[in-house]
């Protein structure tokens, strides 16, 4: 039953959330209008919510490159999907194992995992291991494996969740009934952690989607497997490089540098798919999945 106090709190909640929503959406709308502004207007007036002149030129520029962009979209989507699926699965499994307090060697494994969060061998040796020992250069594994598949941070988050938010009684009951660990994992743990699994999946998916360094290091410049972020980011970085080196002989290439509005359009193109994908995840962030499983 909702009391007056509940309603007051809800009201305050609404106010705060509306403020936050405006703060969050306004810049995004600005991004979109900026990408639809006519070039000269943008140079003269800066970006605005109501540009004096609209234009689709920025997107036209992108469409011209569509062959390359289309293919890179495909690669990015594949890598994101596979990476997220595999990565989240093995993270959650490891976390589940680590959440069993009586596991021998648990402390050691925990320490080893934590250690990796802080100490890194560095790019050079990682690169050598992956390319010389495992030969992933110019393969799709070069995009999937380095650094993104498992993140100790999320293993810890999962473990924390499993230990504290899943009623122990359920797991014990299943053990007594003789269920195997995998069964328990698949039929009890995962369904009860759907919100957590969904959030972590979304975040991991975002990391894969936004990653451009794997493509940069593990693919040659003429590889067909360039992801969309690598393409877009390389463009930005090359622009910045030319600017920093400030040498006119180099800037002959500046002829082909996309202008401000095109860079905005590129950003929109880079974000759009993941925004569209988001509602798909959102349905799991709701109440109801876990309640009522245990009668106190």
Partner 1 sequence: MKKKKRIIWKKYIPLYIMALPALVYVIINNYMPLYGMQLAFRELDYSKGVFSGKFVGFQNFKFLFATKDAWMMTRNTVLYNLLFIVIGTVFGVTVAILFNEIRCKIAARIYQSAILIPYFMSMVIVSYLAFAFMGGENGFINNTLLKLLGKEPISWYSEAKYWPFILLFIHTWKGIGYSVLMYTVRLLTINDEYYEAASLDGATKWQKIWHITLPFLKPALILMTILSVGRMFYSDFGLFYQIPMNSGHLYNVTTTIDVYSFRALMNLGDITMASATGVYQSAVGFVLLLGANMLVRRFSKDDSLF
Partner 2 sequence: MMKRFLSLLLVAVMLLSAAGCNSRASSDKGSTPTPVGESSGQSDTDETPISKGQINFDEEPYTITVCYPVMGVASPDQELIQEKINEIAIKEINAYVQLEAIDLFSMSNTYALKASSQEKMDLIMLMPGGNYLTTFVNTNMIVPIDDLLDEWGPVIKETAGDWLPVGQFLGKQYTVPQNSTTRTMGYGFNVSVPLCEKYNIDIESIRSLEDLEAVFEIIHKNEPDITVLAPESTGGSIIGPVLGLYDTLGSRTSRMVIQEDGSLKVVLDMESPEYMEAAKRVRDWYQKGYISKDVITTQEAGSTLLEAGTCFATAIASVGASGGTIGAGVEGRHVVFESGLPLLRTADSQLFMWAVPTTCTRPEKSIQLLNLFNSSAELANLFFHGIEGMHYEINDKGAVVPFENAGWVNYWPLVGDAFKLLASKGDVKDGTVEEFRQKEAEFNKLTKISPAYGFTLDTTDIKTEIAACNAVGDEFGAAIGNGAVDPEVEIPRYVQKLYDAGVQRIIDEQQRQLEAWVALQN
User: Hey, which residues between 82 and 111 contact partner 1 (CB under 8 A)?
Assistant: 90-91, 93-94, 96-98, 100, 103-104, 107, 109-111
SS3 for 54?
strand
Partner from partner 1, partner 2, none binding residue 169, C-beta < 5-8 Å depending on class: none
The nearest distance, CB 178 to partner 1, in angstroms, is 12
Q: Which is nearer to partner 1, 27 or 67 (CB)?
A: 27
Token pair listed for 182: 């995998």
- Secondary structure string (H, E, C) spanning 170-233: HHHHHHHCCCCHHHHHHHHHHHHCHHHHHHHHHHHHHHHHHCCHHHHHHCCCCCCCCCHHHHHH
Q: Which residues bind partner 2 (CB under 8 A)?
A: 39-40, 43-44, 64, 68, 78, 81-82, 123-124, 127-128, 131-132, 138-140, 216-217, 220-222, 224-226, 231, 234-235, 237-238, 240-256, 259-260
Q: Which is nearer to partner 1, 81 or 286 (CB)?
A: 286
Closest CA to 289 of 188, 164, 213: 188
At which residue do the structure tokens 């380095």 appear?
146
Q: How many CB atoms lie within 10 A of CB 258?
A: 18
Total chain residues near partner 1 (CB under 8 A)? 107
Partner from partner 2, partner 1, none binding residue 140, C-beta < 5-8 Å depending on class: partner 2
Q: Which is nearer to partner 1, 25 or 254 (CB)?
A: 25
The nearest distance, CB 248 to partner 2, in angstroms, is 3
Q: Which is nearer to partner 1, 45 or 172 (CB)?
A: 45
227 close to 76: Cβ distance less than 8 angstroms: yes
The nearest distance, CB 51 to partner 1, in angstroms, is 11
In Å, how far are 9, 20, 23, 133, 219 from 16, measured between CA atoms? 11, 6, 11, 53, 46
**Residue from 36, 63, 145, 173 binding partner 1 (CB under 8 A):** 145
Q: Which residues ranging from 208 to 237 are in contact with partner 1 (CB under 8 A)?
A: 210, 236
Q: How many CB atoms lie within 10 A of CB 95?
A: 24
Dihedral of the alpha carbons of 276, 278, 281, 283, in degrees to the nearest 10: -90
The nearest distance, CB 114 to partner 2, in angstroms, is 28
Closest CA to 232 of 218, 251, 211, 204: 211
Q: Which residues ranging from 61 to 80 are in contact with partner 1 (CB under 8 A)?
A: none
Residue 182 found at the interface with partner 1 (CB under 8 A): yes
Residue 25 found at the interface with partner 1 (CB under 8 A): yes
Partner from partner 2, partner 1, none binding residue 172, C-beta < 5-8 Å depending on class: none
Q: Which is nearer to partner 2, 155 or 270 (CB)?
A: 270
Classify the C-alpha dihedral 210-212-213-215 as positive or negative.
positive
Closest CA to 264 of 40, 67, 47: 47
Q: Which residues ranging from 236 to 265 are in contact with partner 1 (CB under 8 A)?
A: 236, 244, 260, 263-264
Partner from partner 1, partner 2, none binding residue 242, C-beta < 5-8 Å depending on class: partner 2
SS3 for 144?
helix
Q: What are phi and psi of 49, to 5 degrees?
A: -70, -25
């Amino acid at each position: 039953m909702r009391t007056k106090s509940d309603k007051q709190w809800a009201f305050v909640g609404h106010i705060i959330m509306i403020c936050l929503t405006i703060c969050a959406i306004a810049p995004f709308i600005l991004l979109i209008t900026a990408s639809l502004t006519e070039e000269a207007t943008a140079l003269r007036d800066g970006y605005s919510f109501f540009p004096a002149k609209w234009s689709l030129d920025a997107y036209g520029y992108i469409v011209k490159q569509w062959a390359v962009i289309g293919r890179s979209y495909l690669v990015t989507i594949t890598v994101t999907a596979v990476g997220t699926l595999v990565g989240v699965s093995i993270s959650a499994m490891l976390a589940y194992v680590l959440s069993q307090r009586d596991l021998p060697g648990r402390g050691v494994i925990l320490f080893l995992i934590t250690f990796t969060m802080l100490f890194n061998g560095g790019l050079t040796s990682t690169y050598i291991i992956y390319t010389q020992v495992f030969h992933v250069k110019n393969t799709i594994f070069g995009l999937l494996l380095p650094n993104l598949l498992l993140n100790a941070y999320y293993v810890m988050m999962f473990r924390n969740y499993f230990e504290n938010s899943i009623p122990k009684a359920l797991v014990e009951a299943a053990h007594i009934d003789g269920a195997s660990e995998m069964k328990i994992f698949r039929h009890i743990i995962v369904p009860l952690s759907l919100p957590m699994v969904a959030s972590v999946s979304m975040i991991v998916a975002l990391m894969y989607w936004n990653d451009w360094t794997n493509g940069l290091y593990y693919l040659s410049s003429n590889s067909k497997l360039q992801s969309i972020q690598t393409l877009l980011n390389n463009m930005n970085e090359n622009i910045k490089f030319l600017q920093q080196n400030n040498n006119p002989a180099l800037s002959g290439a500046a002829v082909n540098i996309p202008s401000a509005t095109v860079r905005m359009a590129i950003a929109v193109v880079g974000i759009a798919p993941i925004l569209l994908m988001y509602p798909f995840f959102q349905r799991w962030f709701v109440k109801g999945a876990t309640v009522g499983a245990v009668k106190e």
